[in-house]
Amino acid sequence: MTIFDNTLDADGALIVGAGLAGLFTALKLAPRPVTVLSPKPLGMGASSAWAQGGVAAAIGQGDSPRAHAQDTEMAGAGIVDHGTAEGVTAEAVARIEDLARWGTPFDRDDFGNFELGREAAHSANRIVKVEGDRAGWAIMQAIIAEVRRTPSIRVVEGITALSLARDNGRIVGVYCRRLGDRYSEPIYIRARATILAAGGLGGLYAVTTNPPGVRGHAMGMAARAGAIIADPEFVQFHPTAIATGADPAPLATEALRGEGAILLNDLGERFMPAIHPDAELAPRDIVARANFRQIQAGRRVFLDTRQVLGADILTRFPTVSKYCHDAGIDPVNDMIPVTPAAHFHMGGVKVDERGRSSLPGLWVCGEASCTGLHGANRLASNSLLEAVVFGARIAEDIGGLEPARSLAPFEGIEWNEAEGNKAEEVLRNTIAVQELRRIMGDLVGVERDEAGLKAALRQIAHLEATAEQVTSAFLNMTTSATLVAAAALRRTESRGGHFRLDFPEPSGDWEHHTEITLGEALAIRAGA
């Protein structure tokens, strides 16, 4: 199909985003036609490929979906949707079987049983993994290979979505631009069904474990189109990003603490046992705040794997070992310096049990969505599970739209490595983007208060008004930042990933999800 008048037709469903959520949905839609939009070649820009832990599933002897759901609800600090937790955990085994059938080389013992790991707040070993800490990468490689073999899936690389297209209140496609092309007219891609699966917002923060392109664009697009947003204030900070100064920060997987690694400060003091009965395996928000407070007090924090792993870390956790080696750290003999980093967004576009948003024609999947599964604090390794469960549900919900057929490629759109890398560097080094990330890290981070949140909202508004070039991409970022800060200001309590210094305890009045629109967030911002 050639470009004519800057309008293209998806000839079926359109998926924005090519991480696990988007690609899994595409495969589940096969053989019905689907077009997948990806800014970079498949596997290069998605958070899914960076996931180290694995997929949580009650697949071991003595475990059960109900126990998994109970752990999910406990970690979620009182606002996990019970029905969602029970439904997702019940579907976990079937989705693991899908991934295995498509070639994911999950770790197995000599009898073919899954080797299961444990992570924080899980009551059983139920993390299905690959080579210790390579699950995300391995799953994505298998999924990508299957996508490439599927003729009903058209993958368009080198294109980025800017905004959703509406007609009579319905989402009818997206406006896009070739990566690196800031001056031509946007391309409009029509679709009967649009699935937004373009990731979270960790890159809005100065210190993050997320890929550079994951900066709230998905939630920002949906909010600007009028979608209801749920729980945007709940941002999960991973306690143990490796403190190398790299951007993004490499991750030291929670599975290391599952193996018995401990946290120490630079005085050699182990501080977690005095904070929580589960010590280093306490819920992530508690460990992240403990590390944050050590650093705020002038201490450095280290993850010590030497006693429990020693030289085994090199073979059992090759990804972490490589990160350490690249930073000049010897994890066999040295402790690993760590710091909290923005990692996962529990909030997002509000969806129902089928993945439908409040806007007709728009489904949302993966970290861009808020399904109610995570509540105020995600249970470790539930994110990949959520992506595949809701990917399958969305595919079933929209599967009858089109007959089975293969698709021809779009002409004139392709990945250009030099242009793509240049575009990312330009965005990363833009003064307004750097300032936005500083604001979020300093004022809307691990710990918050009224004065800081109001200052953040005023500064975000000032950035929008004075930035040299206010593009759709930048507006998507500031929109998401505004939603997080406004909802955090409105929630006058502490719960899970949202901690207010001026309201340090949870409140029964707030034992529910947040629902907010961009208009409501802008009104809060105007009053700050």
Which of 284, 378, 448, 500 is an active site residue?
Answer: 284
Task: Report the first-to-last Cα separation within the chain, whole angstroms.
Answer: 50
356 is catalytic: no
Amino acid making up residue 366: G
**Are the C-beta atoms of residues 322 and 316 closer than 8 Å to each other?**
no
- H or E stretch covering 240: strand 235-242
DSSP string, 393-404: HHHHHHTTSS--
Residue with tokens 């240049």: 422
DSSP string, 201-232: -GGGSSSBSS-TT-SSHHHHHHHHTT--EE-T
Cβ-proximal residues to 522 (8 Å cutoff; 6+ apart), any chain: 482, 486
Cβ-proximal residues to 113 (8 Å cutoff; 6+ apart), any chain: none
**Are the C-beta atoms of residues 48 and 384 closer than 8 Å to each other?**
yes
Tell me the C-alpha distance between 478 and 445, whole Å: 16
Cα angle vertex 238, ends 233, 244, to 5°?
Answer: 125
- The gap from C-alpha 434 to its chain's centroid, in whole angstroms, comes to 20
Cα angle vertex 360, ends 354, 366, to 5°?
Answer: 45
Cα angle vertex 194, ends 520, 176, to 5°?
Answer: 85
Token pair for residue 186?
């946007």
Give 42's Cβ-side CA count (13 Å radius).
22
How far apart, in Å, are the Cα atoms of 319 and each of 2, 313, 328, 355, 427? Answer: 42, 10, 14, 33, 27
**Are the C-beta atoms of residues 303 and 263 closer than 8 Å to each other?**
yes
Amino acid making up residue 178: R
Report, as residue numbers or ranges, the catalytic residues.
284
